[in-house]
C-alpha cells in the first residue's frame, strides 16, 4: 500500500469510529430535561403570600351617598320616615374629625371659657338666643371611635356645666363607649334639607324644642345629643333621624347605643343629668339634659 493510500485508509477508519460514537450518544434534543425542585404549596400563613383581601364588615364603612340623599318633607317639616338601609342597621364607622388631634395620649380635654369669638361666629348663636355668648364655653375633647381609635371633637356648652361635661366624657372614654363624630352645629345645618342619616354628637343649638316653639335646653347649652342615629327620637310616627328606625329595637344592643342603667346613663346621672329615654310621652334616646327638658 502506498503512503497516500495508507493515509486515506487511516482517515476512513477515524471517520467511521467518530460517526459510530456520535450515533451511540443520544441527540441533545432528546435528553430529558433536568428536573427542578417542585415549589411547595404555600398557605396564607407563609410570609411570602398574603391572604386575599376581605371586604370590611357591613356597616363599618360610610356609604358614599351619606348626607346627600334628600328626603321628601312631611307636613310637620321633617323628612319622610323610611326603612333603615342595610348598611346602617349596625352602623359603626367614623367620619372625619372636625378639629386637629389633641396632644398626648388617652383622654384629653381643653376648655376655653368664654368661647372665642371665631368659634361663636361659626355656631348657631345669634341675638335673641336665651343665653349670652359670653356664657358659652368651648370644650374640645378626645373620644373613642367605632374604629377603635382616639378621635378629637368639640362642642359648645353652658359655662356652668363645662366641668361636668368633661367628667362625663372622661368616663365614657374610660369605658370605651364609641362616638361617631363630635362637632358644633352651624347655622346652615338648621334649615338643611333632611337626609335622615346624621349622627353628630353635640350640645348647644339655638333652636326650639322638637315640634314646639319654646327654646330647647340645647339653646341654653344645657343638653347633649349623643350618637343620634343609634339613639333616635320617637314621637308617634316621627322618627329622627328619619332613617334610624332599625334602632328603635332597643333589645338588639349594638355599639353606640345608650341602654337603661348602662355606663352612659350612669355617667350623666353622676352629674345630675336626666335621660330622654326615660320619658313616657315620647322617647328621645339620644338626649341628656340638666333640667330633664
Residue 205 domain flag: yes
Q: In whole angstroms, give the CA distance from residue 172 to residue 264.
A: 7
pLDDT digits (tens, 9 = 90+) for 229-246: 999 999 999 999 999 999
Beta-carbon contacts of 15 under 8 Å, excluding residues fewer than 6 positions away, are: none
Residue 149 domain flag: yes
Residue 16 domain flag: no
Residue 243 domain flag: yes
Contact (CB, 8 A) for 77 and 163 = no
Residue 266 domain flag: yes
Structure pTM? Answer: 0.81
* Residue-number span of the structural domain to which 276 is assigned: 104-289
Calculate ∠ Cα 200-204-210, nearest 5°.
75
- What pLDDT score does 57 carry? 84
CA distances from 176 to 103, 199, 271 (A): 19, 18, 19
Number of domains in the chain: 1
Residue 254 domain flag: yes
Residue 90 domain flag: no
- pLDDT tens for each residue of the chain, 293 residues long: 444 444 444 344 333 444 344 444 434 333 444 444 444 444 445 555 667 777 788 889 999 999 999 999 999 999 999 999 999 999 999 999 999 999 999 999 999 999 999 999 999 999 999 999 999 999 999 999 999 999 999 999 999 999 999 999 999 999 999 999 999 999 999 989 999 999 999 999 999 888 788 899 999 999 999 999 999 999 999 999 999 999 999 999 999 999 999 999 999 999 999 999 999 999 999 999 998 66
Residue 6 domain flag: no
Amino acid at each position: 500500500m502506498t503512503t497516500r493510500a495508507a493515509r486515506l485508509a487511516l482517515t476512513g477508519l477515524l471517520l467511521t469510529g467518530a460517526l459510530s460514537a456520535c450515533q451511540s450518544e443520544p441527540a441533545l434534543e432528546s435528553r430529558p430535561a433536568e428536573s427542578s425542585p417542585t415549589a411547595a404549596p404555600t398557605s396564607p400563613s407563609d410570609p411570602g403570600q398574603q391572604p386575599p383581601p376581605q371586604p370590611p364588615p357591613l356597616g363599618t364603612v360610610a356609604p358614599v351617598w351619606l348626607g346627600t340623599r334628600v328626603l321628601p318633607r312631611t307636613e310637620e317639616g321633617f323628612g319622610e320616615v323610611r326603612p333603615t338601609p342595610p348598611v346602617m342597621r349596625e352602623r359603626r364607622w367614623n367620619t372625619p374629625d372636625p378639629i386637629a388631634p389633641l396632644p398626648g395620649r388617652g383622654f384629653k380635654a381643653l376648655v376655653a371659657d368664654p368661647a372665642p369669638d371665631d368659634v361663636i361666629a361659626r355656631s348657631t348663636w345669634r341675638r335673641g338666643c336665651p343665653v349670652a355668648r359670653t356664657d358659652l364655653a368651648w370644650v374640645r375633647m378626645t373620644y373613642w371611635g367605632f374604629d377603635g381609635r382616639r378621635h378629637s371633637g368639640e362642642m359648645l356648652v353652658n359655662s356652668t356645666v363645662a366641668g361636668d361635661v368633661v367628667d362625663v366624657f372622661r368616663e365614657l372614654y374610660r369605658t370605651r363607649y364609641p362616638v361617631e363624630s363630635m362637632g358644633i352645629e352651624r347655622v346652615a345645618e338648621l334649615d338643611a334639607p333632611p337626609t335622615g342619616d346624621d349622627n353628630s354628637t353635640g350640645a348647644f343649638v339655638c333652636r326650639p324644642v322638637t315640634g314646639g316653639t319654646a327654646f330647647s335646653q340645647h339653646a341654653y347649652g344645657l343638653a347633649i345629643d349623643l350618637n343620634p342615629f343609634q339613639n333616635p327620637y320617637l314621637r308617634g310616627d316621627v322618627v329622627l333621624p328619619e332613617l334610624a328606625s332599625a334602632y328603635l329595637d332597643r333589645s338588639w344592643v349594638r355599639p353606640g347605643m345608650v341602654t337603661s342603667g348602662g355606663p352612659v346613663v350612669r355617667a350623666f346621672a353622676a352629674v345630675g343629668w336626666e335621660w330622654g329615654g326615660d320619658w313616657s310621652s315620647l322617647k328621645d334616646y339620644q338626649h341628656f339634659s340638666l333640667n330633664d327638658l
